[in-house]
Amino acid sequence: MTTPFYVTTPLYYPNAQPHIGSTYTTAIADTLTRYHRAAGEEVFFVTGTDEHGEKMLEAAREAGLEPKAFVDGMAERFSSTWKQLGFEYDRFIRTTDADHVRAVQHLWQTIYDRGDVEFREYTGRYCVGCEAYLTDRELVDGQCAQHLTEPEERSESNYFFKMTSYFDDWVEHLESHPELVTPTRYRNEALALMKGGVLGDLCITRPVERLTWGIPAPWDDDYVLYVWTDALVNYVTATGYPEAGWEERWSGVHHLIGKDILKPHAVFWPTILRAAGLPLFQGLHVHGHWNVENQKISKSLGNLVDPHVMDEKYGFEGFRYYLLRDMSFGTDTGFSESGVVRRINDDLANDLGNLLNRSVSMTGRYFDGVVPEASEPGELAEVATRVAADVDRHVREFSTQRALTALWELVSAGNKYVDAQAPWKLAKEPEQRRELERVLYDVLESLRITAVLLAPFLPGTAARILGSLGDPPTAATLAEATRWGGLPAGTSTQVIPALFPRIDTD
C-alpha cells in the first residue's frame, strides 16, 4: 500500500464570497490532486467552510438570519462555485457537520484527560477579525497588524491549552525536519514565534454567556470551544478520525494555506496533534497573498476579484492559468486584469494555440489530417523528457509557477522547431517527404505530451488539444503517458476553433 496524497485547503470563512485568494489556494489543491492521480497515486482532496465563532455570528445578524440558516446558504455558495469552476474535491467539509463535532469533542476530551487543559482567569485583547487574543508584542500602535483595528479588552475565565509546554519539542523537531514547513522563510517565522516568547498558552474556550455559536466543550456545558481549536480538527475529521483506519489517509497529509494563517497552522496545530498523541502532518505549504492595486484585498474595499466575473470575461481556464503561472509560491503578487490578458494572449493564444493550430493545419494540408509515421526520437523528444521530469519535481514541491514555466519550454521548443524546419518548404520537395513526416510527427507528439502534462493545470484545454490530436490512447500513469512515441501513426487529427481567441487590448 503506497501512502495516499491527501491535500487540504483552509476551511474558508463563509462570511465573504469566494474570491481570488480562496480560488487560488483551491486551484493549487485541485491541480496537485489531478497530477498525483494521473501519476497513479491514491489521492484525497478536502476543502470546506469554517462556520462557528463570533465573526460568523455577526455576519448572520447583519444578514438578518439565524446563524445555521446563514452558513447553510453561504456554504452552498462555496461548494457550487467550486463545482462550477471544475474543482474536483473528495469532500466538502463544514465545521457544523455532525462527524466533525464528534471528532472535535473526542480530540479535546483526549487532551483534557491527559492533563493539558487548565482553567484560568484571563484579561486580554481580542481581535474579532483574527478570532484571537493578541499579545502586546503582536500589536502595532495598539492595533492588530492584519485587520488594522483596535482589539477589545476582555476579562474572562476560560480553559487554556498548555501549548507553550510543547514548544521546545516542536522547535527541535522542526529544526531537524525542514521539509515540514515550506518555503523556508515561513519555517523561520514559525520558529521565531515560538522562540521569541511572543506567544503564551492558548485560550481554547468561550463562555456560553458570551457566545453559544460553537461546539460545546465536552467537559463543561458552560463553554463552547474556540473557533480555531474547532476548525483545525477538520483535517483529521475528514480522514474518519477517531474511527479505526483513519491514520492511513492521514499518513499522506499536506496542508496548503496562505501566510495569514501561519500561526494557527505552524504553532497551534502541531502542538495540538502532539498533545492528543496524533502523528504530525507531512507538510505545511504556505503561499503569499494576491494584492490588488498594491492593497490587501478586503470586503470593505470591494476589491475581492470574483472568480465568476473572471470566468465570464476570460473563461475560467485563462484566469486559472494566470493564477497558477504568475505567483511564485510563497511570495506576494500583485493582481491585474492586464496581467491576465497578457498571459492569455502571449502564452495561451500565441505560443500554445498557434502551435496546435499550425501543426494540425499542416497535417491536414500535407497528410489529409492523418498522423504520419514516426522516425527516431530527435531533439523535441529530448526536451519533452527533460520537461516531464522538471514538471514532476516542481509539482511535488508545490510550485505550479515553476512547473508551468518548465512546460512552456516544451511549447516554445515546438514553435522554434517548426520555424527552423519550415515544413512548408519541405512540402514543396517530393524527395523530402520522409523528412516532412518526421518533422510533423515530432511536433504533434510534443503537443500530445504537452497536453498530458497540462491536464492537471487546465483540464478543459488539455482535453481539447487531445481531441484535436484525435484522442490518442491514454496510459495508466503519467510516466507512461509522457513517454515519447505514444501518438499512433494513422490517427485522424482535426483542426478545432482557436484554443484561446486573442483578446483585443486596444
Residues binding ligand ME8: number (CB under 6 A): 19
Contacting ligand ME8 within 291-310 (CB under 6 A): 297
Query: SS3 of 1, please?
Result: coil
Question: Which residue, 87 or 408, is less far from ligand ME8 as judged by CB?
Answer: 87
Distance of alpha carbon 205 from alpha carbon 214, whole angstroms: 9
Write down the residue that cell numbers 484525435 correspond to: 470
User: What DSSP string runs through 72-139?
Assistant: HHHHHHHHHHHHHTT---SEEEETTSHHHHHHHHHHHHHHHHTT-EEEEEEEEEEETTTTEEE-GGGE
Question: Which residue, 220 or 260, is less far from ligand ME8 as judged by CB?
Answer: 260
- Using CB under 6 A as the binding rule, whether residue 35 contacts ligand ME8 is answered as no
Taking contact as CB under 6 A, which single stretch among the options 7-15, 111-119, 270-278, 311-319 is the one that binds ligand ME8? 7-15
Contacting ligand ME8 within 349-378 (CB under 6 A): none
Distance of alpha carbon 467 from alpha carbon 33, whole angstroms: 23
- Using CB under 6 A as the binding rule, whether residue 290 contacts ligand ME8 is answered as yes
Distance of alpha carbon 263 from alpha carbon 130, whole angstroms: 11
Taking contact as CB under 6 A, which single stretch among the options 10-18, 216-224, 401-409, 450-458 is the one that binds ligand ME8? 10-18
| Helix locations, 299-399, DSSP H | 307-314, 316-326, 337-343, 354-367, 379-396
| Spatial contact of 436 and 365, defined as CB atoms under 8 Å apart | no
Taking contact as CB under 6 A, which single stretch among the options 9-17, 161-169, 433-441, 478-486 is the one that binds ligand ME8? 9-17
Question: Which residue, 257 or 453, is less far from ligand ME8 as judged by CB?
Answer: 257
Distance of alpha carbon 344 from alpha carbon 341, whole angstroms: 5
Contacting ligand ME8 within 165-204 (CB under 6 A): none
Query: SS3 of 54, please?
Result: helix
Contacting ligand ME8 within 237-276 (CB under 6 A): 257-258, 260-261
- Using CB under 6 A as the binding rule, whether residue 60 contacts ligand ME8 is answered as no
Distance of alpha carbon 347 from alpha carbon 208, whole angstroms: 55
CA angle 451, 447, 481 (to 5 degrees): 55
Question: Which residue, 261 or 447, is less far from ligand ME8 as judged by CB?
Answer: 261
Question: Which residue, 103 or 487, is less far from ligand ME8 as judged by CB?
Answer: 103
| Nearest residue to ligand ME8, scored by beta-carbon proximity | 21
The correct pick among 24, 89, 223, 241 for binding ligand ME8 (CB under 6 A) is: 24
Residue ranges that bind ligand ME8, judged by CB under 6 A = 10-13, 21-22, 24-25, 50, 231-232, 234, 257-258, 260-261, 289-290, 297
